[in-house]
Amino acid sequence: MVNIVNALVSPTPSPSVTPPEGFVPWEQTLRGDSLLLVAIKAVAILVFLLLSVLFAVWFERKVISRMQERIGPNIHGPFGLFQLVGDALKLLLKEDVSVTKRDRVLYIAAPLISVICAFLVFSVIPIGPAVRIPFTEDVTPLQLTDFPVAALFILACAAVGVYGIVLGGWASGSTYPLVGAVRSSAQIISYELAMGLSLVTVFMMSSSMYTQDIVAAQADLWFGVLLLPAFLLYIVAMVGETNRLPFDLPEAEGELVAGYMTEYSSIKFAWYFLAEYINMLNVSAVATTLFLGGWRAPWPLSAVSDGVLNTGYWPVLWFLAKVWLLMFFFVWVRGSLMRLRYDQFMRLGWKLLIPIGLGWVVLWGVARVLYVKDWLPSVKQVTVPAAIVLGLATVVVLFWPSKPGEEKTGRGRVKEIDATAGGFPVPPKPGEKLPPSPRSTRTVDARSQAKEKGDRDKG
């Protein structure tokens, strides 16, 4: 007890964390880059992102077509790959219509803010370890820069990107964009919280915000496995953050036309469009870096001849494979799930994801501190009580008495539904029956009609 009180009053610094095996001070190799090399890398990232977005559009159209038993783009070029070049050029050649009620400066600035912020995230994403540049002796990491708050910088870029959306909708001076913009910003900031919470435990395990350190800390075990709840939280939050189905409420066509970009055309629309797809790539790359081991080879391959596949230019392959798996996940989700209603969406974000995120941080924080202090009970001490508790829980779940009158829903059984569940009218699903309307029993005329209808149904 005295120990605990002492520990509370005066924090005793434990020995600093030892760097993992094969640790290289990345920031030193990075800072050796010349300004010319930095500029080349920046342009390379830009070109990489532009090409990736073009490919992503084609990829999405193709995959979603296959999921809907269509063929998708197949006319121009091999596999319809040139379709997207035409799409991009078309946008550039379109008439640039500026709505009359716009705010002159912000109307142009907003899409620029969006797209510039989207471009920035990749500058701290490690695509590979230090490699030798071909035809020279120089060694440089496959990454533009890395600094002590690199991971925070990613979140900062996402946050500033919201300005592009809010200002775009506001500066259009039109109704639909305004509503779309406030919806979109409320959505993005809500899911940014869930995203931020999911990263706390990652930083606990890496003890660093250098992205290369975070990748290095996952050499043995991916954080996506170790911190599975945080990873799942991040996956949901990243779909909400990028305004993708099933969370694409800002662009709900039936309600808002095209959301905040309704009044934008030509290249300004293209920048918003580009920003959306780059953001998909960004969140996928961040998920890869923080949860899926970054550029490191997946497990069976990482063991091949002492990790030769983790050196040289091989990591680029693993990085791209992981990112495009996540991109496929985005398309898959779009092909499978329906759009949520706005109230459902906000409820999911605020009442489920954020409490789960907070709970997970508290749980993991307490467990880690107990572990560091060596106060955790041993495995033997835990196993027997845990087995008993688990067994009891199984028994309780299996033999939990169901309430009488609470019929299980299933095929062939008719279940009455509340037609105005939660204040929103819902149509009955197959096998469900609407309760009789209270209005039909009020008048004699309606009652006789209802009886007649009932007779007809029986007959």
Q: Does 267 bind another protein (CB under 8 A)?
A: yes
Contacts of 23 (CB under 8 A, 6+ apart): 216
Q: Is 62 in the site for another protein (CB under 8 A)?
A: no
Tokens 């934008």 belong to which residue?
264
Residues 6+ apart with CB under 8 A from 224: 231, 287, 291, 292, 293
Min CB(316)–another protein separation in Å: 19
**Least distance CB 248 / another protein (angstroms):** 17
Is the CB of 347 or the CB of 433 nearer to another protein?
347
How far is residue 324's CA from residue 58's CA, in Å, rounded to a whole number?
Answer: 13
Give the torsion sign (CA, 426, 431, 436, 440): positive
Residue 373 binding another protein, by CB under 8 A: yes
| Between 274 and 331, CB nearer to another protein | 274
Q: Does 76 participate in binding another protein (rule CB under 8 A)?
A: no
How big is the chain, counted in residues? 459
User: Residue 78: is the preceding peptide bond cis (ω within 30°)?
Assistant: no
DSSP-derived letter for residue 416 is E
Q: Which of 8, 397 has the CB closer to another protein? A: 8
Token output for 195: 């995203």
What is the residue type of 127? I
| Smallest separation, CB 320 to another protein (Å) | 20
CA separation for the pair 112, 100 (Å, rounded): 20
HSE at residue 100, side-chain half, CA atoms within 13 A, is 0
Q: Looking at residues 274 to 313 of the shown chain, list those that interact with another protein (rule: CB under 8 A).
A: none
Segment 184-203, which members bind another protein (CB under 8 A)?
Answer: 185-186, 189-190, 192-193, 196-197, 199-201, 203
Minimum CB separation of residue 52 from another protein in Å reads 15
Q: Do residues 300 and 338 lie in contact, with contact meaning Cβ atoms separated by under 8 Å?
A: no
Q: Which is nearer to another protein, 248 or 331 (CB)?
A: 248
Decide: is 55 part of the binding site for another protein (CB under 8 A): no
Per-residue binder mask for another protein (CB under 8 A), 378-397, x = binder: --------------------
Is 208 among the residues that bind another protein (CB under 8 A)? yes
Q: Which of 63, 142, 154, 170 binds another protein (CB under 8 A)?
A: 170
- Does position 343 interact with another protein (CB under 8 A)? The reply is yes
| Binding status of residue 451 toward another protein by CB under 8 A | no
Angle between helices 83-93 and 266-291 (to 10 degrees): 130
CA distance 334 to 123: 28
Q: Which stretch binds another protein (CB under 8 A): 117-125, 127-135, 223-231, 292-300?
A: 117-125
Q: Which is nearer to another protein, 93 or 397 (CB)?
A: 93
